[in-house]
């Protein structure tokens, strides 16, 4: 580790093999010292879960653009374990992403393993960012099944510009003091993002997405089935993260989870 670059810990919830994580690591390596610690497989929709009984075993990954570890745990595990055991010093910033698909509105944000990892960084007292990129509905499953490695040129260019925009935003974040509260900067990039606009300040939209689980045909079991059309049909507030996404604009919401403490109810 050199002394002239800030240190960034990078993680995700799509797994260490994600091409979207790799794009972020490569982009950050120009301005940051980078250590990557990410799950050894996909851990989506897991929120801020911490492994209680698992025996965590970080394995160093060779032939990676940064010092990198795969962990048999959750995204939040990756942040907690890396900050306490793997990093040579405290990170200047923890970045989670780039997620395959958007993370907008509170129902998605609070379920997101991407945001959950950034929340863990904030709970540890570090600057924290989460980044996600919208994908075309007709390509989502193929991109996911390929581990974020097979995509058309439009998605590939959007990913490149999104990763570069994350770096520029990160440099602004580390130039400011570590914020009070439990702050996560939640960035979302639209389909076809060309890098011409910086993320606009937004807020997390609030809506009801309903039950995610549907009974499997001919079985007693239920399976999560995400319905993007519910988000597309939702009425949006101007200035929200979902509104920005619909307008084709990148956004950043400054989430402060300390507001969940209930303290405001005691204030006059």
- Identify any residues that bridge with 255 across adjacent strands, giving them in sequence order: 184
> Residue 1 has what pLDDT?
58
> Residue 4 has what pLDDT?
85
Domain membership of residue 233 (yes or no) is no
Task: Report pTM.
Answer: 0.93
CA angle 75, 76, 77 (to 5 degrees): 90
> Residue 9 has what pLDDT?
98
Residue 3 has pLDDT above 70, yes or no: no
Handedness of CA 264, 169, 154, 62 (dihedral sign): negative
Average pLDDT over residues 57-72: 96
Pairing of strands 67-71, 59-60: antiparallel
Average pLDDT over residues 118-143: 95
- pLDDT tens-digit series, residues 66-84: 999 999 999 999 999 999 9
Q: Could you tell me the CATH number of the domain that includes residue 107?
A: 3.40.1210.10
DSSP 214: E
Any idea which of 3-17, 106-120, 202-216, 219-233 has the lowest mean pLDDT? Answer: 219-233
> Residue 225 has what pLDDT?
85
Domain membership of residue 119 (yes or no) is yes
Distance CA(190)–CA(160), nearest Å, equals: 13
Domain membership of residue 193 (yes or no) is yes
Domain count, the chain: 1
Domain membership of residue 51 (yes or no) is yes
Domain membership of residue 54 (yes or no) is yes
Domain that holds residue 256: 7-208+238-266
Average pLDDT over residues 101-120: 95
Task: List Cα–Cα distances, 261 to 100, 183, 219, 234, 257, in angstroms.
Answer: 30, 13, 42, 28, 8
């Amino acid at each position: 580790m050199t002394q002239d670059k800030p240190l960034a810990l990078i993680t995700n919830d799509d797994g260490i093999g994600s091409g979207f994580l790799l794009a972020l690591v490569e982009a950050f390596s120009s301005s940051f010292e980078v250590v990557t610690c990410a799950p050894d497989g996909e851990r989506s929709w897991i929120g801020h879960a911490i492994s209680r009984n698992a025996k965590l075993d970080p394995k160093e990954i060779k032939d990676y653009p940064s010092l990198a570890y795969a962990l048999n745990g959750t995204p939040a595990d990756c942040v907690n374990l890396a900050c306490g055991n793997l990093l040579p010093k405290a990170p200047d910033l923890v970045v989670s992403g780039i997620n395959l698909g958007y993370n907008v509105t509170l129902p998605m944000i609070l379920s997101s393993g991407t945001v959950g990892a950034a929340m863990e960084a904030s709970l540890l007292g570090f600057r924290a960012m989460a980044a996600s990129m919208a994908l075309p509905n007709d390509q989502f499953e193929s991109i996911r099944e390929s581990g974020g490695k097979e995509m058309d040129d439009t998605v590939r260019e959007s990913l490149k510009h999104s990763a570069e925009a994350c770096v520029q935003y990160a440099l602004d974040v580390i130039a400011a003091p570590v914020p009070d509260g439990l702050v996560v900067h939640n960035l979302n990039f639209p389909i076809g993002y060309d890098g011409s606009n910086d993320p606009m300040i937004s807020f997390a939209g609030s809506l009801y997405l309903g039950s995610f689980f549907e009974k499997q045909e001919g079985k007693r079991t239920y399976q999560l089935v995400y319905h993007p059309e519910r988000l597309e049909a939702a009425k949006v507030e101007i200035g929200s993260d979902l509104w920005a996404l619909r307008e084709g604009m990148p956004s950043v919401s400054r989430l402060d989870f300390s507001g969940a403490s209930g303290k405001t109810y005691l204030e006059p």
